[in-house]
Amino acid sequence: MRCPFCGYAESRVLDTSHDARGEVRRRRECDSCHLRFSTLERALDSIPLIIKQDGSREEFNREKLLRGIKIACAKRPVSADDMDHIAGEVESYLENLGKPEVPSRVIGDRVINRLKQLDLIAYIRYASVYLKLGDLRAIRDEIDELLEGTE
């Protein structure tokens, strides 16, 4: 494993741990500069192609999904672990479907439901793009619906 600090190709594994999603986290030390870093390993499973709304297809990109979740959760009391957990749940769900292709709506629905449980402001931010809430009235209607559910 190449050191992210000095680029040296050899490192020692100091510690290994596993999580529920099947990922392996390794703590490493560079043999050259002796700085420590962590790596995350995931088994490559067959994740289906995502069918976009325009009919095009692309590979699932966990980092792209996580970026959208982070934008929705910016400056909100949502931990990085919670955001990563949502992305991991979606990825696991897609892997377990066993289908070669899945509409992008499946991903959006899962994310929006989790954000609604986690943080309503992040939910509104994500919903404004995902549900195409194109004007203030549509956003206000969504907020009014949320407020009715919390009273």
pLDDT in tens, 90-132: 998 998 888 889 999 999 999 999 999 999 999 889 888 877 7
For the chain, the domains span: 11-41, 49-150
How far is the C-alpha of 37 from the C-alpha of 39, rounded, in Å? 7
- Supply the pLDDT for residue 65: 94
What pTM was computed for the model?
0.64
What pLDDT was estimated at residue 47?
81
139 or 56, higher pLDDT = 56
Per the listing, tokens 């088994």 go with 43
pLDDT at 51: 94
Distance CA 114, CA 73 (A): 12
Q: Give residue 45's pLDDT band: very low, low, confident or very high (50, 70, 90).
A: low
Distance CA 59, CA 50 (A): 6
